[in-house]
A and B are shown apart, each in its own frame.
Chain A
Amino acid sequence: MSPANSDRVWVVEDDERVRRSLTWLLESVGLAVHEFPGAEPFLEALDPTRPGCVLLDIRMPGMGGLELQQLLARDHPLLPVILITGHGDVPMAVRALKAGAYDFFEKPFNDQELLERAQAAIQQHRAALAEAASRAGIEQRIARLTPRERDVLALMLEGAPGKVMAARLHISPRTADVHRHNVMEKMEAASLAELIQLCLAAGLKPG
C-alpha cells in the first residue's frame, strides 16, 4: 500500500458526479487519479509507460466504454482496464471480460473491493512493465552478439562443453572459450545459470 508517485489511476466517466466521487474515494487511499469525461481526452493524455489502471464507465456518449476497452486491449495490452457498469449492463461487462478486461464493478461500489482490485491492477501493470522492460534489455544484449556468438550462446544453453562446441562450430577450443567469455560479458551474466535465466525470461528456449 505504498503507492509510488508514478502510479496513475485513469478514470474515464462522463457523469461528473460519479467521476468526482470516484476520484475522492481513490485519493482517500493515496492513489493518484487522472480523470476524464470521455474517451478522446483520455487517449490524448494517456501515458501507458506509467504503472496504473483504467476505470472505465461502459455507458458513455461518443466512444463507449466497450469500444474504448477494445481499443486499449489492442494498443496497450498490458494496461489493466476495470469496467464500471450501471445496472443491467452485466452481459456487456461479461463480454468485456472475455475480451480481456481486468475486472468490472457495478455501481454503487463496494469501496474495499474496488480499491483492492485497482491496486492489484496497478501492481500487475507495474510487474508487466518491468518484465517487458527487462525482456527488452535482454533482447538488446542479445542484439549486441555477433552471429558466431549467438551460435555459441545457443550451444551454451544446450549445456555443450567447450570441446563439443569447438567441434560443432569447426573452431579451436580456444577460440570457443573466447566466444563464451564475450557472450557472458555482453549478456552481463555472472554465471551460466544466470545466463539461462535471462534467456528464459526473454523467451529464448534452450535447444
Chain B
Amino acid sequence: MVSPPRHVVDNRSQCAESARPHLSGAPETAAIVLRCCRLHAREEPPLRALTLAIALLPLLCALPPAAGGPDTGAGGLPTAAAPTTPANAQPLRIGVLAWRGSERALSSWMPTAEHLRERLPDHAIRLVPLGLEEMETAVASGELDFLITNPGHYVHLENTHGVGRIATLETHTLQTPSQALGSVVIARADRDDLQALSDLAGQRLLAVSPEAFGGFQIIQDELRRVGIQPRRDLQELRYTGFPMDQIVDQVRVGAADAGIIRSCLLESLVAEGLVEPEQFRVVGERAEPGFPCRLSSRLYPDWPFARLAHTDRDLARRVAIALMEMAPPEDSEALGWTVPLSYQPVNELFERLRIGPYADFPENPLAELLYRYRWPLLAGLLVMLIGFGHHVRAEYLIRQRTQALHETMRQREAAEEAARHRQEELAHVARISTMGELAAGLAHELNQPLAAIVNYANGCRRYLEPMDERQVPQKARLLEATRHIAEHGGQAAEVIRNLRAFLRKEPGEFRPVDVNQIIDEALGFMAVALRRAQTRVECRLGTGLPPVRGNSVQLVQVLLNLLSNALESQAELPATARFIHLSSERAGDRVRITVADPGEGMAEAVRARAFEPFFTTKDRGMGLGLSLSHSLVQEHGGRLSLRPRKSGGTLATIELPLQEETDA
C-alpha cells in the first residue's frame, strides 16, 4: 500500500539477515533499501539495481547493530535507525506501513530518513515498519512521533487518534499527488471471462485485509458502484494480509480467480523480474490520463506524513519544513514531499462504504432515522391510517348516500312519470270518450229528424202509389221526389253512421278492478281541487270487496265526473258545510259506489234529462259529463243513477257487476 516505492530495488542481500526485526510473524528481512533512481527503468533494471546495491553495501553492513539488535528505543518496536546518529540525539520514531514487508518499507523510506537526519541532527531518526494493526497499537500507546501510512489508514488514525498530516508524498512521475493511488484487480491472463468488475460476481477474490486501503477498500468501493457486495455476491473473499506480493502469487497459481492489489505493484514486480506481464490481465481496467500504471479504480491522494497528537508542535514544524525542503533529486522519478493534501476523497469513500470513521454510521441513514423515530412515526402513521380510513369511510358513505339519493330521485321521477302517464292516459280517454259521446249525441240528434224525414217520404210514396193519374196528375214526379227524399235522407244518415263509427268510444279492455283503488285514484286527481274548494271528503269504503269487471281508466273518469259535479253543486255553501261522502259496498252480485253531496241538488225535470247528451244546467258545460258517465257505466253492464238526498243535495249511485270468476 505504500505509494513511494514505485520501483524498489529488491536487495535481498545477506546483510539484511542481520537486520531482521523480531516482529511477530514478519518473515521479511529488515534492510535498508536504496531508492531507485528511476522508476520505470525498464532498460537494464537488474544491472542498475545491482550497481546501487554494491555501492551501498558497506553502509548496509554497518547498520546491523542499530537496526537489527534488540532495540529498546521504541518500546520493543523494531526500528531502523539512520546511520551516524549523534550519541545525545533524542529518538524520533517514524512508523512506516510495511505493506510489502519490513525490508521494503525500510528501504523505501530511507531517503526520507536520511534527509531528516541531515536537517535534524539533534534527533535520532528511526524508521519503524509496522502492519496496520501494529501501527494503530503503537499510535495508541504513543510509541511513535510520526508515521507514514496509506491514505485510508491515515484517515482512520486521524479520526481515532488525532494524528495530523504535515506533508503528502509527491512523485514527480505523476501529474499530481492528489491522483496518485489506486487499485487494480488482476486475474490470470487466460481468464477471458473476467473483463469488467461486474464479472467478479461468483468468483473467488483475494484481498489483503478488510482494513487494507489499496488492497481492498478502493476496489470494495468500485465493486459497490457496479452493484457487487463482496460478502453477498462473491463465491469467496479471502484475506491474505501483508505482504501484498502473495496475492499476485496465489492468483498466478490459480488459488483464486482474481486478486486486489494496489496500483503499480504489478509494474514493480514486473520491473523486479518477479512476474511476466503476460501472465495477468487486469479486470475492469480503466484509464486515468497521465497515470503510469494499469488501474481498476479511481485515484486517491498519495501517502501522508503525519505527526501524532502528542508530538511536539515545534518538532512537527521542523520536520514539516525539512520534508518540504527535501531536495528533489535530479531524477524526475524520485520521491519528495509537498504540502499536506486534503483526504476528503478517502473520507467520502469510507462514508460510502460505511467503514473507518463511518463504520458506526448506519448503512442506510433513512432506515436508522426511521428506526430511531419508529414510535412517533408509527403513531403518525396510525393517525394517517385512521385519517385515511375515515376519509375512505366518508367517501364510501357519501357515495352510498348519493346513490340512495339518486335511487330515491329516480323512484320519485318514475312515480311522477307514472302519474303523468296515467293523467295523460286519462286525459286521452276523456278526450276520446267525450268525442265519442259528442258524436253519439250529435248522431242521435240528427238521426231522429232524418228518420222522421225518411219515414214521411216513404209514407208519402205509399199514399201516392195506389192513386191514379187523374187524381194526381204529377204522380210520377211526386213519386220520384219522395224517393229522392228518402234516399238522400238515408245517405245523410249513413254519413252520420260513418262519423259515429269513426269516433266510437274505445271499448276499453275489461279487467278485474278494485273499486277502492279507483276511488283512491280519483281522489288523488281531485286532491288539489278539493283543497282549493275547502271541501272535506269522508270515505266509508267496504273491506274485502270482490273485484268488478271494468276498465279502470273509464271508471276513474266516471268518478271524476261525479266528484266534480258534487264539488260544483255546493260552491254556494259555507266552507264548513261542504263535504263529499264516498262509500263502497257489496250489493248482491254487484259492487255499489255512492257519491253524496249536500249541494243544490236537481229538480225532477232536470234529473230526468241528466243523462241526455248536450243537456246541461251549467253556464259553461257541454252537457256531456253525466251522459258520458252514464254510457260508460252502461258499457260496463252497470247502472248509474241519481237521487235526491233526504237532507238536500244529490246521491249518485254506481252499480257495477262483479268480475265473474270464470272470466278472471
Contacts and interface: CB of A to CB of B under 8 A. Distances in A.
A108 B463 contact: no
A25 B444 contact: no
B188 interface: no
A86 interface: yes
Contact of A18 (B440, B443, B451, B497): B451
A108 B454 contact: yes
A29 to B, nearest CB: 6
B500 A108 contact: no
A141 interface: no
A207 interface: no
Interface in A3-25: 15, 17-18, 20-22, 24-25
A98 interface: no
B459 A27 contact: yes
A86 B631 CA distance: 14
B504 interface: yes
A29 B455 CA distance: 12
Given A18-B452, A87-B500, A109-B454, A25 B493 contact: no
A25 B447 contact: no
A24 B455 CA distance: 7
A48 B451 CA distance: 28
B608 A111 contact: no
A75 to B, nearest CB: 22
Contact of A107 (B447, B500, B609): B447
Interface string A88-127: 1000000000000000000111010000000000000000
Contacts of B452: 17-18, 20-21
A29 B458 CA distance: 11
Given A27-B459, A28-B462, A87-B443, A108 B609 contact: no
B658 interface: no
Contact of A28 (B454, B459, B497): B459
B571 to A, nearest CB: 28
Interface string B454-473: 11101111110000000000
A17 B456 CA distance: 10
B490 interface: yes
A197 B455 CA distance: 45
B67 interface: no
Contact of B455 (A61, A86, A87, A109): A109
A86 B444 contact: yes
A87 B448 CA distance: 10
Contact of A87 (B447, B460, B490, B609): B447
A62 B610 CA distance: 11
Nearest to B456: A21
B489 interface: yes
A108 B459 contact: no
B601 to A, nearest CB: 19
Contact of B453 (A21, A29, A59, A87): A21
Contacts of B456: 21, 24-25
Contact of B451 (A21, A59, A61): A21
Identify the interface centre among A17, A21, A29, A111: most chain B CB within 10 Å of its CB: A21
B65 interface: no
B439 to A, nearest CB: 9
A26 B440 CA distance: 28
B447 A108 contact: yes
B423 to A, nearest CB: 28
A21 B485 CA distance: 14
Contacts of A59: 444
Interface in B483-508: 486, 489-490, 493, 496-497, 500, 504
B616 to A, nearest CB: 16
Interface string B100-123: 000000000000000000000000
B275 to A, nearest CB: 130
B380 interface: no
A108 to B, nearest CB: 4
Nearest to A27: B459
A121 to B, nearest CB: 18
Contacts of A29: 462
A27 B463 CA distance: 9
A18 B454 CA distance: 10
Identify the interface centre among B443, B454, B460, B489: most chain A CB within 10 Å of its CB: B454
B648 interface: no
Nearest to A15: B448
Contacts of B500: 87-88
Interface string A54-72: 0000010110000000000
A41 to B, nearest CB: 15
Contacts of B345: none
A107 B449 contact: no
A28 B454 CA distance: 13
Given A108-B493, A111-B458, A111-B462, A17 B443 contact: no
B504 A28 contact: no
A72 B504 CA distance: 31
Given A108-B454, A109-B454, A25 B440 contact: no
Given A28-B463, A88-B504, A107 B448 contact: yes
B504 A61 contact: no
Contacts of A17: 448-449, 452
B455 A25 contact: yes
Contacts of B449: 17
B566 interface: no
Nearest to B505: A88
Interface string A19-46: 0111011011100000000000000000
Given A24-B456, A108-B450, A108-B493, A87 B462 contact: no
A61 B486 CA distance: 28
B210 to A, nearest CB: 117
A61 B443 contact: no
B609 A25 contact: no
A23 to B, nearest CB: 9
B493 A24 contact: no
A108 B440 contact: no
Contacts of B458: 25, 28, 109, 111
A108 B462 contact: no
A12 to B, nearest CB: 15
A18 B455 contact: yes
A62 B452 CA distance: 22
A123 B450 CA distance: 30
Identify the interface centre among A88, A107, A108: most chain B CB within 10 Å of its CB: A108
A28 B357 CA distance: 146
Nearest to B443: A87
B451 A109 contact: yes
A21 B455 contact: yes
B455 A22 contact: yes
A21 B459 CA distance: 8
A166 B609 CA distance: 74
7 contacts: A17-B449, A21-B451, A21-B456, A28-B458, A28-B461, A87-B444, A88-B443
Given A28-B461, A62-B608, A87-B444, 10 more contacts: A15-B448, A24-B459, A25-B459, A86-B443, A87-B500, A88-B504, A107-B448, A108-B447, A108-B489, A109-B455
- Which 6 pairs from chain A and chain B are nearest by CB? A21-B455, A111-B458, A28-B462, A107-B451, A21-B452, A108-B454
Interface of A: 15, 17-18, 20-22, 24-25, 27-29, 59, 61-62, 86-88, 107-109, 111
Interface of B: 440, 443-444, 447-456, 458-463, 486, 489-490, 493, 496-497, 500, 504, 608-609, 612
